[in-house]
């Protein structure tokens, strides 16, 4: 990393970078997690499902296939775009493109309604690819806005901005939906307005990021191509890099082991996050109010969790602090198995918020320390791919066990295995030097 790119944590660059997390977290909290899945099932898909080629698909199955399609698109695009961005110096432009694409698609969810199944799915697909694709380039800026020894704090600050921004927007959206009658709105219209508001929030606050974030210089192409004539060379280089993803990861000390650990423990994390609402509804019989308030608790406690674990990383190394967070995730799964009341569910939300903020921030900063800074977009493309892959097995195992046993309680215990394997693999990863950045 050059001296020019080693900006200090309190700089305008860091604030501009963090503000993108503030902006796009409104989408993931309000649209992807809280509002659209329920709205899609209750208002968009007909009660009997959708028939395609003689096969009936329920809202749940359509949603599952849609999530898989989004993951596949990112799996194909992220490493290629990351490789191209590293050599073109277009990280900022790609970030802007994906942001505009995702935020506009979110706003257009206002045009959805009963029976508009494919239109709704298409908009979510574009929004989700915009969100995840943008994050590849957002994450790739981290080694360029923070000095190597400051990555934990800056990464944690970014997540804290995101939890606060996403939480505030979600609170406003929740007020809109809960008070729809007093505002003279139909409840479905209120849900659509909340999602459109999230899109405006995302695109609007991202302007502050684009205004303040500088583009790091790109490495020259091997053949020296420039301008429009370099496009075929970019594509060839990107495809070549994609084919050699794991070979290059193996060449970076500790990176393959870390990705393997992340694959397991993040699978557990994503399953807890995605199944917590269903678990509370089906096993505990909790009201929608309790479930939504718990989401708010998680969102705001995560702010302090990200900061707490970034401080712990300074005291005990990033790897050990991350291992502590993974161990606590295992404890969350055991605790959830024995829950019986709304009070216990609220308490679980507080614990989840604490460890979620820490595990996400430290995972990103440790990865950033392990990778070569001059190929950060390419390697964060791989990280995004692993993140998408790690959201598949956990929910599948949860569903299989729940179906076999007739209860989600037994299924939740199986998640302990994901955290245990991730913990063991993480213990085998070397501690990156706080001042090292290849």
pLDDT exceeds 90 at position 316: no
Q: For residue 1, is pLDDT > 50?
A: no
Tell me what pLDDT residue 419 has: 95
Helix (H) or strand (E) holding 284: none
The share of the chain scoring above pLDDT 90, in percent, equals: 32
pLDDT of residue 8: 47
Q: How confident is the model at residue 49 (pLDDT cuts 50, 70, 90)?
A: confident
Q: Is the pLDDT of residue 199 over 90?
A: yes
Least confident of 227-231, 267-271, 306-310, 344-348: 227-231
The whole-number pLDDT of residue 434 equals 54
* CB-CB contact of 81 with 133 (8 Å): yes
State residue 204's pLDDT score. Answer: 97
pLDDT, residue 60, reads: 65
Q: What is the mean pLDDT of residues 408-416?
A: 82
Residue 142 CB contacts under 8 Å (≥ 6 apart), including other chains: 17, 151, 154, 155, 158, 364, 365, 368, 376
Least confident of 69-78, 301-310, 428-437: 428-437
The per-residue pLDDT for 27 is 96
- DSSP states of 140-207: HTHHHHS-GGGHHHHHHHHHHHHHHHHHHHHHHHHHHHHTTTTTT--HHHHHHHHHHHHHHHHHHHHH
Give domain 9-243's CATH architecture.
Up-down Bundle (1.20)
User: Comparing 13 with 80, which gets the higher pLDDT?
Assistant: 13
CATH 1.20.1250.20 fits 246-438, yes or no: yes
User: Rounded to whole angstroms, what are the CA distances from 217 to 7, 94, 177?
Assistant: 15, 14, 45
pLDDT recorded at residue 209: 96
Measure the CA–CA gap between 438 and 429, rounded to whole angstroms: 17
Q: Taking 50 as the threshold, does the pLDDT of residue 6 lie above it?
A: no
pTM above 0.85, yes or no: no
Burial 283-312 (b: 16+ CB within 10 A, else e): bbebeeebbbbbbbbbbbbbbebbbbbbeb
Average pLDDT over every residue of 231-243: 68
Mean pLDDT, residues 65-72: 75
DSSP per-residue letters across 387-430: HHHTTTHHHHHHHHHHHHHS-HHHHHHHHHHHHHHHHHHHHTSP
User: Residues 389-401: what's their mean pLDDT?
Assistant: 71
User: Residue 373: pLDDT band by 50, 70, 90 thresholds?
Assistant: confident
Q: Greater confidence, 173 or 55?
A: 173
How high does pLDDT run on average in the chain? 82
Q: 247-261, 276-290, 342-356 — which is least confidently predicted?
A: 276-290
Mean pLDDT, residues 209-235 taken together: 70
- Provide, rounded to the nearest whole percent, the portion of the chain with pLDDT above 70: 83
Q: What is the Cα–Cα distance from 127 to 98, expressed in whole angstroms? A: 9
What integer pLDDT is reported at residue 282 of this predicted model? 65
On the question of pLDDT at 108 being above 90, the answer is: yes
Q: Which is more confidently placed, 316 or 110?
A: 110
At 9, is the pLDDT very low, low, confident or very high (cuts 50, 70, 90)?
Answer: very low
**What does the pLDDT look like over 110-160, one tens digit per residue?**
999 999 999 999 999 999 999 988 987 898 888 888 887 787 788 878 888
Where exactly does CATH 1.20.1250.20 map onto the chain? Answer: 9-243, 246-438
């Amino acid at each position: 990393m050059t001296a020019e790119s080693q900006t200090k944590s309190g700089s305008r660059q860091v604030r501009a970078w963090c503000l993108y997390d503030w902006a796009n977290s409104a989408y993931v909290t309000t649209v992807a997690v809280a509002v659209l899945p329920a709205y899609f099932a209750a208002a968009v898909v007909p009660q009997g499902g959708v028939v395609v080629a003689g096969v009936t698909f329920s809202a749940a199955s359509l949603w599952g296939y849609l999530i898989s399609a989004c993951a596949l698109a990112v799996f194909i695009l992220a490493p290629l775009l990351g490789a191209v961005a590293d050599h073109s110096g277009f990280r900022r432009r790609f970030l802007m493109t994906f942001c505009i694409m995702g935020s506009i698609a979110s706003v257009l969810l206002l045009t959805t309604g009963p029976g508009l199944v494919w239109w709704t799915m298409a908009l979510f697909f574009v929004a989700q690819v915009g969100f995840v694709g943008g994050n590849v380039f957002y994450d790739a800026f981290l080694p360029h806005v923070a000095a190597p020894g400051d990555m934990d704090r800056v990464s944690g600050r970014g997540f804290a901005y995101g939890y606060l921004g996403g939480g505030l927007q979600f609170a406003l959206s929740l007020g809109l939906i809960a008070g729809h009658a007093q505002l003279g709105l139909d409840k479905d219209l209120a849900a659509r307005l909340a999602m459109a508001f999230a899109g405006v929030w995302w695109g609007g606050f991202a302007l502050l990021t684009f205004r303040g974030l500088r583009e790091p210089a790109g490495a020259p192409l091997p053949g020296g191509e420039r301008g429009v004539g370099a496009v075929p060379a970019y594509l060839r280089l990107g495809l070549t890099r994609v084919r050699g993803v794991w070979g290059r990861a193996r060449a970076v000390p500790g990176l393959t082991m870390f990705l393997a650990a992340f694959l397991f423990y993040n699978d557990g994390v994503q399953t807890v996050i995605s199944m917590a609402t269903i678990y509370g509804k089906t096993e505990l019989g909790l009201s929608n109010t309790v479930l939504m308030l718990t989401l708010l608790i998680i969102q705001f406690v995560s702010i302090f969790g990200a900061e707490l674990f970034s401080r712990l990383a300074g005291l005990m190394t990033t790897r050990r602090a991350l291992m502590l967070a993974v161990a606590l995730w295992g404890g969350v799964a055991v605790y959830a198995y024995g829950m019986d009341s709304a009070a216990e569910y609220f308490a679980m939300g507080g614990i989840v918020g604490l460890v979620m903020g820490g595990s996400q921030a430290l995972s990103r900063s440790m990865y950033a320390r392990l990778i070569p800074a001059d190929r950060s977009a390419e390697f964060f493309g791989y990280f995004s791919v692993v993140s998408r892959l790690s959201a598949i097995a956990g929910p599948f195992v949860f569903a299989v066990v729940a179906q076999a046993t007739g209860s989600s309680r037994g299924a939740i215990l199986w998640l302990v295995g994901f955290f245990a394997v991730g913990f063991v693999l993480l213990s085998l990863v070397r501690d990156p030097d706080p001042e090292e950045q290849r």
